[in-house]
Amino acid sequence: SSGINAEWPSRPGVLVDHFSLRPGSGGTGLHPGGDGMVRRLRFRRDLTLCCLTERRSTQPYGMHGGGCGARGRNVLERCNGQVINLGAKCAVQVVPGDVFLLETPGGGGWGHPDNGEKPPGTTRDNARDTAREDMPAKLRKVEVRGSVAQYTRNQESA
């Protein structure tokens, strides 16, 4: 919701002005992509702002006819009125009164939104395997491991 005006306990000098979903940023599809987030941070002292983000120049892609999600944006609104598009990766000095607007990308959609039919051979159980078929042959052989893979397995087994 907007108007939070709460200081991050772990980040003194940073005021959260706004935090919300980014409606409409998810791609269209039988299963639409999730909406991104909007965060508006106001700085109350001199700091270094570092951004290490992705999907600022390319959209998150949809699969099996699903639409792309919206690109993310990193915008710095200087207290003197100057507005700067920071791009995906940067480090910049900020002063009291500067505002950072972070818009995370929306997720890509899956499936054709018009007909409500899933492509042949796709089910909840094999959706990940079907997605792998869209990858180049060289990448399909990569074993999926790590905490994200374990999280995915846990979610799919529920």
Asked whether the beta carbons of 69 and 59 are under 8 A apart, the reply is yes
pLDDT in tens, 13-26: 899 999 999 999 99
Percentage of the chain surpassing pLDDT 90?
54
pLDDT in tens, 34-78: 999 999 999 999 999 999 998 888 899 999 889 999 999 999 999
How much is the pTM? 0.67
Beta strands in the chain (DSSP E): 2-7, 14-22, 36-43, 47-52, 73-77, 83-85, 89-94, 99-103
- Binned at pLDDT 50, 70 and 90, residue 2 comes out as very low
The average confidence (pLDDT) of the chain is 79
Kindly report the number of other CB atoms within 10 A of residue 49's CB atom: 17
Torsion angle, CA of 38/28/121/149, rounded to 10 degrees? -10
Residue with tokens 């959260």: 16
Strand partners, 93: 48
Q: Which amino acid is it at 113?
A: P
